[in-house]
Every structure is written in structure tokens, then in C-alpha cells.
């Protein structure tokens, strides 16, 4: 029943002294497979397992009514059941174990559902397997991975062994502590999302001129001028002669201008043949014609990263006038998208904007009084700093939890 093996985690609450022991999962879990033939649940009760959200409503997760599925053959799951999902994800290539802490409902036949015995705290098992390295190391021995889904046997899974403390009190204390950290993560995530929504809304009002700033004397600034891109920026085409600069940059829609090696986890460009690449300096703006969900007309970003070179597929712009932060914020809006779509010729490549230099240089840009630009930039920069600070706190808390998950379990 139990092997004579014991150990202790690196971090532990001091009141607990007994060593952890090794158990088979079958000592805590029992497989069951009750279908919905009695129609206890309807289509709105179909659940799904997400690596990010756990057990959730499938309808809300995928925005689908699932009117065509035969939910009578779906498997029932109850609150506090333990669920194994056989779909493949980036962090969980061998499937995913999660406790159902959402509600009673239905799961497709792709899932295994287990009843949890009273010898273990359900959320403790959830915390144990939420460390994806630990979960993957456990599951890789018991499953076969296909192209999209996993082949697994429930009895074979239950033969797997894990270490855990025998006192339920210790299991609960560990779980409650980690739940508090999860609560802090959720609060920071919500705060970040609210700040981002606020910034998006206030930015929309500023650049639509529904919200205007006053000068030092409380008076209105002059009306905004309309200029063209070529009036505010000049196109740069200095080449990297002799391939002297080796720092190859890329323009990401979500991450801005960064090292190509960091973005792709390897250098794509030939380091010995960079003569045709454009030199990019700090505070230059770079336009990437590649479109994506995050950048529907391609990203136009300011270079904060450092001096480097970029592929001639990009357009490099040197500011001539105006506040740099003002235009950095402007290009994060969609106000300039309509013009870009109107002049684009997509041609064969539907993922790339094909725009002539002449048309691009005629892109209309707002040009408020420079003092108003500065006030707008300062205001929006402050919100961006708040978002960055909350994001830093969020990442630190996530990393703290990750470290705890590796040290509070055997």
C-alpha cells in the first residue's frame, strides 16, 4: 500500500514535523464516468478546462452555444472533482490536472473525472499539479502524445506516485497560503486591466479632442494643426556599411522594438551580411508593414532599445519636430488606421501592408501647440508608468508563487 520512502520539502510551516510520504494517486482518487442520460444538465452547463482559468463555462470561454453537441453523452462532474484534460497546450504538453472549483456540470468525453477521497484536500492536489514542470514530469510517464490529443488510461494514471503530507491540516495550510497569493495576483491583474482600459478611454478622448488641456494661465491652447508625416518625420535610409553594427532589431506589435535574438530565441539575420540593413538610433520610429490582431495596419513604434540595424522591409523615421512621447502615444491609437487601409495594396501577401513611400509620407498627423503636446505626453506617460509598475508587481508575485510551488512540495 505504501512504500517506505519519506522526504521533506525545502520550505515548510514550522509546526509540522512529520516527513512527507509517497502514495499512489489511486489512494486519493477514484475514476467515475456518469453520463447525462437523465438530462440533469443542459447545454449551458457544459464546462471546459483551461490552463489559464481552470474549470470554466465552455460557452463563455469559447463564445459558443454548442447547440449541435449531444450533451446526453457528456460526462458529469461535481464540485471538488479532480479532472484530467487530454488536450495539448504550450505549458502542458502531456495534459492538465485541475480541481473543479467552479460548479457541477458536464465535460466532454475527452476528459477523465475523478472523485476525491477524504484522505486528501482537493485543492492541495490542484496546487501540487499547478507547477507545470512537476505535472509534466509526472504525466510524461503515463500518456502517449498525438498531434492534437493525448492517449491515456485512467487506471494507469492512478498508478502514478506523488509525495504529500499525511495531515490534512498541513495540506490545507499550504493550500490556503497559495490561495492568498492567487488572490493577490488576481487583484493586480484586475488593477492592470482597469488602468489599461482607463488609458485607452482617456487617450481616445484626447486625440479626438473631446478633452483639451489648458496653458499655464488656464487659457485654451490654439486649435490643432493638420500636418503630414513628412512634415514631422524624415525617412532614414543610412545603410550598415561593412556590417559594422551587429545588433539586429525587430519591431513587435506587442513588445515594441527589441533584439531579434530575444524575440525569436535565435538570430535570424546573417550576421556576416548586414550591409543592406538600415541603421536605427534611439528615438527613431520604425514602421513594420506586417499586420496582426494586435496591429491591424502594422505597428509603428519608437525605439527605446538602443542603436542597431533593421531589415529594409521596415521604414525608419527620424523625428524632425514635435514631442516624441506625444506621437508614440498617438501611434498606439487607431486614429491613423483608416488612412493606411485606404492607401494599402495588399497584393499577394495578405499579412502585409503594401504602401508606397509617397502615400506613407502623406499620412495625416495632428500637430497641437508644442506645450499642449508636452502636457498630453506627460499625462499619458504617468498612466503608462502606473501600468508598468503594477505589471512589475504582478510578474514579481507570479515568480514568487512559482518559486514557492517548487519549494513547498516534494
Please tell me what DSSP assigns to residue 243. Answer: G
**Separation between Cα atoms, residue 31 and residue 155, nearest integer Å:** 8
User: What pLDDT, on a 0 to 100 scale, did the predictor assign at position 383?
Assistant: 98
CA dist 48 to 28, 32, 135, 149, 190, Å? 23, 18, 19, 15, 23
Segment 378-395, tens digit of pLDDT: 999 999 999 999 999 999
197's grid cell: 482600459
pLDDT confidence of residue 260: 86
- Alpha carbon 52 to its chain centroid, in Å, reads 10
Exposure of 217 by Cβ count < 10 A (0-12 exposed, 13-18 middle, 19+ buried)? exposed
CA distance 43 to 47: 9
Rg (CA), the chain: 28
Residue 266: pLDDT above 80?
A: no
Give pLDDT tens digits for 15-74.
Answer: 999 999 999 999 999 999 999 999 999 988 999 998 888 999 988 766 655 566 788 999
Instruction: Give the per-residue pLDDT at 273.
Output: 77
Torsion of CA 405, 407, 409, 410, to 10 degrees: 140
* Closest C-alpha among 207, 370, 291 to residue 300: 291
**Average pLDDT value over all residues in the chain:** 91
Burial of 46 (0-12, 13-18, 19+ CB in 10 A): buried
Q: Which domains does the chain have, with CATH numbers?
A: 19-164 (3.90.220.20), 168-220+368-410 (1.10.287.1120), 225-366 (3.90.220.20)
Q: Assign 318 a pLDDT band (cuts: 50, 70, 90).
A: very high
Parallel, antiparallel or unpaired: strands 364-367 and 225-228 = antiparallel
Q: Do you know the residue count of the chain?
A: 410
For the ranges 89-93, 111-115, 149-153, the maximum mean pLDDT occurs at 111-115
**Phi/psi zone of residue 245: left (φ > 0), alpha (ψ -120 to 50 degrees), beta?**
beta
Look at residue 171 and tell me whether its pLDDT is greater than 90: yes
Buried b (16+ CB within 10 A) or exposed e, 341-369: eeebeeeeeeebbebeeeebbebebbbbb
- The per-residue pLDDT for 1 is 39
Say if CB 9 and CB 131 are below 8 A apart: no
pLDDT category at 87 given cuts 50, 70, 90 is confident
Amino acid at each position: 500500500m505504501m512504500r517506505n520512502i519519506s522526504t521533506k520539502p525545502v520550505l515548510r510551516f514550522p509546526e509540522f514535523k512529520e516527513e512527507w510520504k509517497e502514495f499512489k494517486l489511486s489512494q486519493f482518487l477514484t475514476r467515475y464516468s456518469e453520463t447525462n442520460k437523465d438530462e440533469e444538465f443542459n447545454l449551458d452547463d457544459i464546462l471546459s478546462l483551461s490552463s489559464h482559468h481552470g474549470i470554466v463555462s465552455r460557452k463563455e470561454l469559447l463564445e459558443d452555444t454548442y447547440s449541435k453537441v449531444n450533451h446526453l453523452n457528456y460526462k458529469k462532474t461535481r464540485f471538488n472533482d479532480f479532472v484530467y484534460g487530454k488536450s495539448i497546450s504550450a505549458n502542458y504538453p502531456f495534459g492538465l490536472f485541475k480541481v473543479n472549483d467552479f460548479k457541477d456540470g458536464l465535460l466532454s468525453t475527452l476528459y477523465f473525472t475523478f472523485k476525491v477521497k477524504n484522505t486528501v484536500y482537493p485543492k492541495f492536489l490542484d496546487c501540487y499539479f499547478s507547477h507545470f514542470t512537476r505535472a509534466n514530469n509526472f504525466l510524461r510517464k503515463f500518456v502517449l502524445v498525438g498531434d492534437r490529443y493525448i492517449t491515456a488510461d485512467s487506471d494507469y494514471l492512478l498508478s502514478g506516485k506523488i509525495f504529500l503530507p499525511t495531515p490534512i491540516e498541513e495540506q490545507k495550510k499550504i493550500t490556503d497560503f497559495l490561495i492568498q497569493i492567487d488572490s493577490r495576483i488576481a487583484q493586480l491583474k484586475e488593477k492592470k486591466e482597469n488602468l489599461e482600459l482607463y488609458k485607452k478611454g482617456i487617450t481616445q478622448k484626447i486625440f479626438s479632442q473631446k478633452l483639451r488641456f489648458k496653458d499655464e494661465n488656464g487659457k485654451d491652447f490654439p486649435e490643432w494643426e493638420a500636418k503630414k508625416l513628412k512634415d514631422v518625420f524624415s525617412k532614414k535610409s543610412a545603410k550598415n556599411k561593412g556590417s559594422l553594427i551587429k545588433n539586429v532589431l525587430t519591431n513587435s506589435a506587442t513588445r515594441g522594438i527589441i533584439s531579434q535574438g530575444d524575440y525569436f530565441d535565435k538570430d535570424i539575420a546573417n550576421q556576416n551580411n548586414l550591409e543592406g540593413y538600415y541603421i536605427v538610433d534611439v528615438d527613431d520610429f520604425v514602421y513594420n508593414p506586417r499586420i496582426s490582431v494586435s496591429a491591424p495596419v502594422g505597428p509603428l513604434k519608437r525605439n527605446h532599445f538602443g542603436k542597431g540595424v533593421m531589415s529594409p522591409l521596415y521604414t525608419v523615421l527620424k523625428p524632425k519636430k514635435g514631442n516624441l512621447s506625444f506621437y508614440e502615444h498617438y501611434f498606439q491609437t487607431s486614429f491613423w488606421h483608416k488612412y493606411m487601409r485606404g492607401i494599402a495594396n495588399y497584393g499577394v501577401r495578405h499579412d502585409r501592408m503594401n504602401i508606397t513611400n509617397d502615400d506613407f509620407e502623406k499620412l495625416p498627423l495632428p500637430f497641437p501647440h508644442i506645450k499642449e503636446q508636452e502636457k498630453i505626453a506627460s499625462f499619458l506617460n504617468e498612466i503608462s508608468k502606473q501600468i508598468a509598475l503594477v505589471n512589475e508587481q504582478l510578474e514579481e508575485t507570479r515568480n514568487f508563487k512559482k518559486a514557492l510551488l517548487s519549494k513547498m512540495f516534494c
